[in-house]
Homo-oligomer: A and B are copies of this chain.
Amino acid sequence: MATQKKKKKYIYFFGEGKAEGKASMKDLLGGKGAGLAEMTNLGIRVPPGFTISTEACIAYFGNRGKYPAGMWEDLLTNLNRLEKVMGMTFGDPRTPLLVSVRSGARASMPGMMDTVLNLGLNDQTIQGLILKSGSERFAFDTYRRFITMFGSVVMNVKRDLFEKLLEEKKRMLGAALDTDLRVDALKDLVREYKDMVFSETKTKFPEDPMEQLKMSVNAVFESWFGNRAVTYRKLNNIPDTWGTAVNIVAMVFGNMGETSGTGVAFTRDPNSGERKFFGEFLFNAQGEDVVAGIRTPLPISALAKRLPRAYKDLVFIYKKLEKYYRDMCDIEFTVQEGKLYMLQTRVGKRTAAAAIKMAVDMSREGMIDQKEAVLRIDPAQLDQLLHPTIDGSADLKVVAKGLPASPGAAAGVITFTAEESERMAELGEKVILVRTETSPEDIGGMHAAQGILTARGGMTSHAAVVARGMGKCCVVGCSSLVIDEENKTVRIGDLVLREGAFITLNGSTGEVIIGKVPLVRPKLSKEFKTLMGWVDKIRRLGIRTNADTPHDARVAREFGAEGIGLCRTEHMFFNDERIKAVREMILADQTGGRKKALAKLLPYQKNDFIGIFKEMNGFPVTIRLLDPPLHEFLPHTDAELKALSLDMGVSFEALSQKNKSLHEFNPMLGHRGCRLGITFPEIYEMQVQAIFEAACGLKKEKYRVIPEIMIPLVAHVREFEMMKELVDRIGKEVMDGYKIKVDYRVGTMIELPRAALVADQIAKTAEFFSFGTNDLTQTTFGLSRDDAGKFLPVYIEKNILPQDPFVSIDQDGVGALIRLGVEKGRSARKDLKTGICGEHGGEPLSVEFCHKIGLHYVSCSPYRVPIARLAAARAAILYPKK
């Protein structure tokens, strides 16, 4: 004897001022269903209907495409209830009930089945519609709309085919607008549509309203796993397991003549954020006319003029909704013969600028508090505000698309080499550096360029990382480019561009555009400054920047950085005269020769540090001693080596021999970082001397200098101890010479798994840890970011990795090591200073993670400093404990 299980509720009714659902049931009813229920409860006029829950959708997929037990019966019961409320009957030829069927997931999701209106029509029920409306034309207009939507959305007939027949009809009859077509023409169209659907699908257009309904519900469910929906979810980190709800709502008609119509509106301006009602309305139309762009909608003021009653209702309702949702709402509505019906409400999307203005305004209006205002801003969105962007009104000729590696936009003439880029920039030309891929030697050229475009490389390739660091627009991995560096041309399909041709890059979309597109440099609003003031009061994490030059340091200070978390000294080695001395140093076989060459570098390095220390007066500056393998400073092709040989007066053979001897199979795991400092201590000695001389000199001028000297790539505690001895020794020598004491710290980058594992040993002598999450991710995953392009995209696509670990910290793996490093480090030194300085320092989820595990600061590129500040504040609100 089976016990009767409590029947699962799959369907939620709304109508007559009462709903079974409410706004907070978004997960179950989807955004649309929850909105309709809530509006009903709020006493707002909404056509009655019911929502099939997301659970039903999930059960449907769990059940190999069958409805869960009882769902269909529930649906029929609710349909019956709807018939009663409406006083009409679904499929009845005299008083036919028509409905709309619309999908609605938790989050608004383009790519899913959208809407079927006027469902329930067939050759019988149309008679009832004619009878009730008294307008045969209206009825057939509605019928042809239904066939179009059902045919295209549910039966997958190309929408074009319907459009073509419609256009043909209009052309033949000389009708300018759809509304000019008369009833006979519409009748013909209905017949022609049905014939066409049959010839396309080999299936008769379903006449049975119940079959229409079932097919539509199935189509909504199935659209959850449609290609575009799946892609969208992947891109937006929406789980497949959420499912979608289905809303079945009694039709109201905007196409019943000039006192009817349909509209969409925002309770505030979604572009600027201004507090003004913003919307559009189309008379004698149904919703899809707005979307399809067949007629141009009128501003919402037209409604106020022509149907003031309905408009007054609308104003009353939108204010009610905004107050209720405590946020800007995006609403849809229909006016049927002068009477307003609300069809949808949800919190509306907005630009970054608008989001900030609204949040600050609403906080001031007393609608939300400052913390909520901060939570309203998506940190990732801020990026939009911080870089120049393409003028939206411009006409664009997009010729290629790569990865959007560093946001913003840039226009300029093509150059193919870093030298040429520098030369032309000196002449005042704006240039775009186009390379197959970039290397550290290109830094100068990258600096000089407005933007960088590469044919290879991923979001974390050299070009991408450096460009982001510079806040410079960059598009990478644009694989359709065929670059011929010798002949100085780049081919894109049939198009061949030469050096000097004008192109524009959109670093936010990855688009490559022919010609010079006007750019807009956004100004930061006063609301932005207000909000960032609140942010800084709330956050616990310090925000520093990764900056290698006084210029970057200044930009970062303007963006609110509280010090430098990573100053890479190797970029200083590439400029002009210096690279010559660096190469002399590399070519010297003896310590003596190296020292001589290093002595030439000393004044340059010292000046670099003076410039940076001045900009960061009063703030700490973490300087990483030389990190990259020496071969990065030598050119690699025979041609370049020959040129260098002439320039340096060293034989080509000797240079080429040196190059070979420095070659590494895995440079990432090679002779770099403190391994250089240990094998060639004179290099680090020079750098430390430069730091202390700069610091001592400035201290005499009353600057507050706080150098933090960072030893890279430590794996074993002895490496750190030896290098700390070196720093302390040279530091003392210089300070004794100047008779000045500088407060300094010596710490290490934790960027190898081993360092995290023995962090307790290292923290005995190290005064700070900076987690180098780029390299730590590479070694923990065994994944070279330069090579990952061949398989990482497949990994993301196949959902093996939820996201690119070079973009957002892999919390399970790399994060576990960081936690361990922090715990072990603090077990040995209670006041150990901890931060991160990888690319992740400016990524909101990673910032949140750093907050949660109690780091002292994050460091990121200058242009991401505001993003990190905001993310840190949000984390402090959401996770207040630590």
Contact = CB atoms under 8 A, between A and B. Distances in A.
Interface of A: 664-671, 675, 678-679, 713, 715-716, 718-719, 722, 751-754, 757-758, 761, 775, 778-784, 786-787, 790-791, 794-795, 798-801, 810, 812-814, 816-817
Contact of A790 (B679, B751, B757, B799): B679
Nearest to A814: B754
A366 B667 CA distance: 58
A801 B718 contact: yes
Contacts of A678: 791, 794-795, 798, 800
B794 A669 contact: no
A782 B753 CA distance: 8
Contact of A669 (B666, B716, B758): B666
Contacts of A754: 780-782, 810, 813-814
Given A722-B800, A812-B757, A715 B669 contact: no
A816 B824 CA distance: 13
Contact of A781 (B679, B715, B783, B817): B715
A758 to B, nearest CB: 5
B800 A758 contact: no
Contact of A668 (B666, B713, B753, B761): B666
A817 B722 contact: no
A402 B787 CA distance: 34
Contacts of A753: 753, 779-780, 782, 813, 817
Given A754-B781, A779-B780, 19 more contacts: A664-B786, A666-B784, A669-B669, A669-B779, A669-B784, A670-B790, A679-B794, A715-B780, A751-B782, A752-B780, A752-B782, A753-B782, A754-B780, A754-B782, A754-B813, A754-B814, A757-B780, A757-B813, A779-B779
Contacts of A786: 664-666
Contacts of A814: 754
A719 B787 contact: no
A530 to B, nearest CB: 43
Contacts of A794: 678-679
22 contacts: A665-B668, A665-B787, A666-B667, A667-B787, A669-B778, A669-B779, A670-B790, A679-B791, A715-B781, A715-B782, A716-B801, A716-B813, A719-B800, A751-B782, A752-B782, A753-B780, A753-B813, A754-B810, A757-B816, A757-B817, A779-B779, A779-B782
Contacts of A784: 664-666, 668-670
Contacts of A779: 669, 753, 779-780, 782
A48 to B, nearest CB: 46
A757 B794 CA distance: 23
Given A753-B753, A779-B780, A670 B787 contact: yes
Contacts of A791: 671, 675, 678-679
A669 B812 contact: no
A669 B757 contact: no
Nearest to A462: B665
A781 B719 CA distance: 12
Contacts of A817: 753, 757
A814 B752 CA distance: 11
A761 B812 CA distance: 10
A842 to B, nearest CB: 23
A758 B784 CA distance: 20
B813 A715 contact: yes
Contacts of A715: 780-783, 813
A669 B718 contact: no
Contacts of A713: 782
B757 A671 contact: no
Contacts of A795: 678
A758 B664 CA distance: 31
Contact of A783 (B667, B669, B801, B810): B669
Contacts of A799: 718
A810 B752 CA distance: 14
A775 B671 CA distance: 17
A607 to B, nearest CB: 31
A722 B794 CA distance: 13
A667 B664 CA distance: 11
Contacts of A718: 799-801
A778 B670 CA distance: 10
- In the A-B complex, the 8 residue pairs with the smallest Cβ-Cβ separation, listed nearest first, are A669-B784, A666-B784, A754-B813, A753-B753, A752-B782, A670-B787, A665-B786, A718-B800
Contacts of A778: 669
A758 B679 contact: no
A188 to B, nearest CB: 49
A664 B782 CA distance: 14
Contacts of A790: 670-671, 679
A486 to B, nearest CB: 16
A787 B757 contact: no
A780 B775 CA distance: 11
Contacts of A719: 800
